[in-house]
Amino acid sequence: MAARKEDIAAICSQLVEDARAGVFKPVYVLMGDEPFYPDLVCQAIIDNCVDEFGKDFNETICYGSDVTPEQVVTAARRFPMMADRQLVVVKEAQLMKGIDEIAVYCNEPLDSTVLVLLLHNASLDKRKALYKAAQKVGVVVDSPALRDYEVPGWISRYYSGRGLQIEPEAANLLAESVGTDLSAISVETDKLLKNLPEGAKSVSVADIERNVGVSRQFSIFELTKELSMRNAPRALTIAAHIGTAARFNMPQAVSALYMHFYRILKYGALLSRGGFPSPEDKASALAGVNPYFYREYDTAVRNYPLPKAMAVVSLLCEYDYLGKGGDGGAATPAELMTELTAKILNV
């Protein structure tokens, strides 16, 4: 069973529930560019597969850099001592030389062994025997990294799964502050929950600002909003401020602006066909945007009709190059950010 991107959260949630209920597959391959879900499933298996009294005898946890495939196969072929099953976990399995040799065990796994191969920011070669064998007899979780624009939606779903409602603006602000690292988002959420009033069921922008240490007032999220409205004084003030921040990253900022204006361009192209777009077409043009923000794009598409939106996208490509050191210019990131903002407003 291989997990697809669109249902990775649901599949891993079910695997965690199965582990808590004592239901296990003989082989797990947990891999991918985003380690949050592989780590989550691995820990659930470790917590529930072998009871505390049997861990000394029936639990083997090792690292790929320290073992060979032969040693892993030998450990997996042992029988448990005074128990129904044993657990063998190989963390950082991508560091093991000749890992594909473990396929010989996966072709005939023991019912009494649970073997877990946890790869960190890496994946098995899907053309080779180990991947195919593991997929046939067990579970393969292939966890892809999220793109920047997908993170706010993931945060909303994650909070919902924890019994909380997070404001769309708060989700965007948290995503901008933490980035695409889902484990970091989880850690920040745990910290946030400790500071929320008892029984609280919603998370606001103020909660994120107060507990995560980020200000909406000076953020890329707020800059895109002011650019959409063509509010020049406010946009230039924000650009100058965020450009001098210690954690400011010019390529990352340009990437966020590019995604924003690319959506404006796609939405403008949709509207240029005439008539009222269907909800499905609008959602496709504004992929990754919470419907709460549709009104902003209705304004932005009027302020940046197709020729202007195309000019801004072209401008952003130029500043992506400059922000990465292209042309060897002496301008600071803060100067480039302010200059870029001014040029967008003058398109």
pLDDT recorded at residue 3: 45
Phi first, then psi: give them for residue 267, nearest 5 degrees: -65, -40
Q: Is the pLDDT of residue 5 over 70?
A: no
174: Cβ–Cβ under 8 A, 6 or more apart, which residues?
Answer: 152, 155, 166, 185, 188, 208, 212, 214
Q: Cα–Cα distance between 102 and 73 in angstroms, integer? A: 6
pTM of the model: 0.73
Asked which of 2-6, 49-53, 163-167 is least confident by mean pLDDT, the reply is 2-6
Segment 216-220 shows an average pLDDT of 79
What's the one-letter identity of residue 138? G
Sign of CA dihedral 309, 311, 317, 320: negative
**Percent of the chain whose predicted confidence (pLDDT) is above 90:** 63
Q: Cα–Cα distance between 181 and 214 in angstroms, integer? A: 16
CATH fold for domain 217-345? Zinc Finger, Delta Prime; domain 3 (1.20.272)
Q: What is the pLDDT of residues 94-121, one digit of tens each?
A: 999 999 999 999 999 999 999 999 999 9
Q: Which runs of E-coded beta strand occur in 100-164?
A: 113-118, 139-142
What's the one-letter identity of residue 261? F
Q: Is the pLDDT of residue 4 over 80?
A: no
In the chain, where the domains are located = 5-142, 148-214, 217-345
Phi first, then psi: give them for residue 333, nearest 5 degrees: -55, -40
Domains 5-142 and 217-345 share a fold: no
- How sure is the predictor about 215, in pLDDT bands with cuts at 50, 70 and 90? low
Look-up: residue for tokens 């976990």?
89
Q: Is the pLDDT of residue 214 over 80?
A: no
Pick the CATH number of 5-142 from 3.40.50.300, 3.40.50.261, 3.40.50.720, 3.30.420.40: 3.40.50.300
pLDDT greater at residue 246 or residue 276: 276
What's the one-letter identity of residue 240? A
Q: Cα–Cα distance between 193 and 198 in angstroms, integer? A: 9
Q: Cα–Cα distance between 192 and 190 in angstroms, integer? A: 5
- How sure is the predictor about 2, in pLDDT bands with cuts at 50, 70 and 90? very low
Are 154 and 182 within 8 A, CB to CB? Answer: yes
User: Which among 59-68, 161-170, 201-210 has the top mean pLDDT?
Assistant: 59-68
| CATH class label, 148-214 | mainly alpha
Q: Cα–Cα distance between 341 and 83 in angstroms, integer? A: 66
